[in-house]
Amino acid sequence: MMLHVPGVLTPSQVAEIREALDAADWNDGRETVGAQGAQVKRNRQLPESGPLTQRFGAVILAALETHPLFVSAALPLRYVPPLFNRYEGGEQYGLHVDGAVRGVPGTSLRLRTDLSCTLFLADPGDYDGGELEVLDTYGAHEVKLPAGDLILYPSSSLHRVLPVTRGARVCSFFWLQSLVRDDAQRGMLFELDQTIQRLREQHGDNAELLALTGHYHNLLRMWSEV
């Protein structure tokens, strides 16, 4: 399941982050990938343990924890802290699949990457190219979202970032392990939760809605790994 999550960051938060990032020193993005990724990756990244990475990564995670749509879709258990990248002057990231397991910098914790997240920090009109292209059984899907919006998609997806031919594409990206490992099960829970919320808005609480809510939590209890 791919999902557009709007309004993760406010315009003022985006402006603060961009001001700091535009003045930052960037490293070669190939430093943080394996041999396969290094062959097709041409971009720049902030240092994983740098102060800006840690500061603004915490801002992003705090915003996501209170974003109902994101929580409903992702059912997050733990995160690889957000990183930041920049593409310009023809830079791109060719077709690749994200690694199945990643460590959390500075700790011994390792997690399974169920879902990948890209949070856009530049508006689409500020640059040409730079679309995130995700391939699945239904074809190729190009994503280029407003600043402050996030795309959520399975980490098992083959994907790439197309060349940036004008301006700069600036994003945060990270991975998470979900409470529910299976993408289909997670998708069913998301649809059920969204239906419950819409019914509650239309009709208030009643016996039927209580029954649906019970089914949701019993399925989550059955499928979750906690």
CATH classification at residue 199: 4.10.860
Same-domain check for residues 41 and 152: yes
Placement of tokens 């077709």 in the chain: 95
Question: Please, are residues 91 and 30 in contact by the beta-carbon 8 Å criterion?
Answer: no
Same-domain check for residues 143 and 121: yes
**What burial class does residue 189 get, using C-beta atoms within 10 Å of its C-beta: 0-12 exposed, 13-18 middle, 19+ buried?**
buried
Same-domain check for residues 132 and 205: no
pLDDT > 70 in the chain, percent: 97
CA distance 14 to 100: 30
State pLDDT tens for residues 135-164: 988 899 999 999 999 999 999 999 999 999
Confidence of residue 31 (pLDDT cuts 50, 70, 90): confident
Same-domain check for residues 140 and 42: yes
Q: Is 102 helix (H, G, I), strand (E, B) or coil?
A: strand
Its pTM stands at 0.94
Same-domain check for residues 190 and 80: no
Same-domain check for residues 170 and 209: no
| Residue 52 lies in domain | 3-178
pLDDT value, residue 100: 96
Same-domain check for residues 156 and 202: no
Same-domain check for residues 36 and 105: yes
State pLDDT tens for residues 34-93: 666 678 999 999 999 999 999 999 999 999 999 999 999 999 999 999 999 999 999 999
Q: Which residues of 79-113 are buried (b: 16+ CB within 10 A; e: fewer)?
A: bbbbbbbbbbeebbbeebebeeebeeeeeeeebbb
